Every structure is written in C-alpha cells, then in structure tokens.
C-alpha cells in the first residue's frame, strides 16, 4: 500500500510504501471488540467495597422481643432490611484484568492500523522536533491538520532520538485530546477511537520491522515443531 508523507505544514512531500501485512488487512470487528474490552478491563481498579451484615459494626442482640409488639421480628440491627445494616451481594475488591492471547492482540493492532489506513485517517508525517518542548509550537503543527479532535501520534523508539521524543511528549502534556504511542506498545483502544492517527516516518519502518520479526519468529517455531 502506498501513502503520502506530509510535512509539518500539511503539504505532501513524497510517497512511502506501507507493509500490507500490517496496514493492509481486512476488517475484523470481533477481534477489535475483544481487544478493546480487554484493555478497558485491565484498566479497571476494582477497589469498590461494601460491608455485609457480618462486617457492620453493631450489637448482635435482638432490638426488641420476638412477640407481642405487632412489628416484624428482628434478629439484630445489622439486618440488610434496616437503615445502617449490611449490604446484600455488594461489590468486593477484585481484579478485572485478564490475559489476551498474544497473536490475537497483535492481529487486533494490525487490524486497527489497517482500518485507519483504509479510511484515510492515518497520516505519515516527516520526523520533526519541538524546540524546548513548547506546547505552542506543537499545537501549531497539529492545527495544520485540523485541531480539537482526538489525536494519536506514534513516535519512534530509536535511542538516538530519545531527547527529541522526550521534548515532543513534554510539549503534548497539556493537550488533553492528544496521546502518544510507541511502535512496540500500541493500544487498540487509542488507535480505534482516534479521529486522527499520525505516525512519524521512522516509526512506520519500526512498526513494520517489529511485527514482521514477530511473524518470522512464529514461523520458525512452527517449522521447528513440524
């Protein structure tokens, strides 16, 4: 698949080839739904806690005698039927996270990238830097492509670009609708719901190499087991 590389001013500079094994897959709604729900479940804290009748502080004695009052019989003041009593089947602290198969997770990421590439919401931008990590300069660059929409920028993981990447992240810290991802740590939720996905030119090659290496490794293992 061929796509354009844009400058920070929003002008087309040249063409670049995208790996069809990563950016050219067919739509798979099931795997996207599965991956997004997995990411949301793993983010849940699960600290909600209520007390049942055995944990509520209070007396265990009967509030009044069993018969002769004309009222309903009560065992103690901690009954769930009374104000201040325990909770029936209330939430308890729990872990909502669960593991998703690695191959399914990678397929979901590649499907999300392919979906954005096919709908023209994915753009490849030349490598750029933000001097002194100024938010104003980064905001001006994003305005050249339209602003105010949920935006994702995929940065390079090259160690030689570490300082430049840190300045970019610092510049985007105050932009609420902007998030940063790296080639080896992509999130399906951010990619799917991002109205605009920008990938730096060096990051495109890193994404292709990363997933190609994983696929080659899997093929080698399958051949060894055959």
Q: Is the pLDDT of residue 196 over 80?
A: yes
Q: How much of the chain exceeds pLDDT 90, in percent?
A: 50
* Mean pLDDT of all residues in 204-224: 71
User: Band of the pLDDT at 148, cuts 50, 70, 90?
Assistant: confident
What are the tens digits of pLDDT across the range 50-87? 999 999 998 888 989 999 999 999 888 899 998 989 99
* Mean pLDDT of all residues in 143-166: 86
Which one is predicted more confidently, 226 or 72? Answer: 72
Distance CA 125, CA 42 (A): 31
* Mean pLDDT of all residues in 21-40: 93
Domains of the chain, start order: 2-42+100-225 (3.40.1370.10), 45-95 (no CATH)
* Mean pLDDT of all residues in 130-148: 86
What are the tens digits of pLDDT across the range 82-128? 898 999 999 999 999 999 999 999 999 999 999 999 988 999 999 88
* Mean pLDDT of all residues in 176-180: 92
- Residue 131's pLDDT is what? 83
Q: Is the pLDDT of residue 223 over 60?
A: no
């Amino acid at each position: 698949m061929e796509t354009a590389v844009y400058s920070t001013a929003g002008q087309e500079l040249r063409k670049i080839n995208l790996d069809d094994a990563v950016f050219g897959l067919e739509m798979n709604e099931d795997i996207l739904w599965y991956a997004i729900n997995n990411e949301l479940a793993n983010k849940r804290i699960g600290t909600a806690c209520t007390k049942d009748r055995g944990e509520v502080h209070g007396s265990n004695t009967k509030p009044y005698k069993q018969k002769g009052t004309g009222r309903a019989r009560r065992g103690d003041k901690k009954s769930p039927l009374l104000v201040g009593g325990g909770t029936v089947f209330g939430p308890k602290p729990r872990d909502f996270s669960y593991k998703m198969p690695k191959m399914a997770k990678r397929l979901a990421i590649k499907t999300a990238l392919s979906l954005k590439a096919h709908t023209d919401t994915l753009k490849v931008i030349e490598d750029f830097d933000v001097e002194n990590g100024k938010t104003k300069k980064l905001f001006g660059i994003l305005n050249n492509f339209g602003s105010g929409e949920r935006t994702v920028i995929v940065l390079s993981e090259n160690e030689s670009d570490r300082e430049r990447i840190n300045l970019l992240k610092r510049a985007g810290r105050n932009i609420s609708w902007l998030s940063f991802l790296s080639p080896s740590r992509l999130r399906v939720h951010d990619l799917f719901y991002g109205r605009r996905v920008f990938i730096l030119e060096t990051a495109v090659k890193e994404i292709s190499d990363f997933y190609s290496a994983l696929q080659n490794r899997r093929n080698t293992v399958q051949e060894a087991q055959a």
